[in-house]
Structure 1
Amino acid sequence: MIISLLLLPGVLMAWSPLVAGSVWLIGVALIFLFAIFVLRKWMGHQQTPESAMPVWVLPVTGTLNVPIVGNSFKSGYTHELCLMFFGIGIVFIIMLMTIIIARLFFRDN
């Protein structure tokens, strides 16, 4: 649902840019809170490489959806928000994919 709040404004922009911007900002705030929540859960408990799953990529890299529609807005702050969320997503996708690929390659069967 949060991802849809980030992508739906691309369709809404043709009818009402104000509504599209509001929906997009709500989606940005929710994906940020969700990513923080998931990261705190991961960092708060000891994780084993055996528990690494490809589905781990989804919550944090959902932040990569922010710039898809966000760059269409011409407000002054949207470019910076898009860059910030793109950076967060790229950093964590690199870390998580390294862990997941290492688990898949080096796991004992």
Structure 2
Amino acid sequence: MKTVSLCAVLFIFAACKTSPPASSCRYAGVVKDLSGIDGCGLVIEMKDGTILLPVEFAVPGFTLKAGQAVKFDFMELKDRASTCMSGRTVRIECILETK
């Protein structure tokens, strides 16, 4: 009985991942569709014009849509190559849609 209870508790804690608080999403940008450029797709353009190519998401389930305004945080993946000829390859650590 103890084994079943312990397994249930561990399962519940493992399943309860939450997204980081909005305060950790430090940057703002807009999702752009660059699928007209070879090897590109949806990217995030920051306010300063920097293009980011998201290839990983720390919190799954967020869907990027062209024109969407977002707050986010990222980590550059310098060891990752991309066929898109513009932008920096990144892992999105935190992302929230804004209005």
Which TM-score tier does this pair reach, normalised by the shorter chain? 0.3 to 0.5
Q: Which has the higher helix share?
A: 1
TM-score with structure 1 setting the length? 0.32
TM-score with structure 2 setting the length? 0.34
Q: Which has the higher strand share?
A: 2
Larger Rg: 2
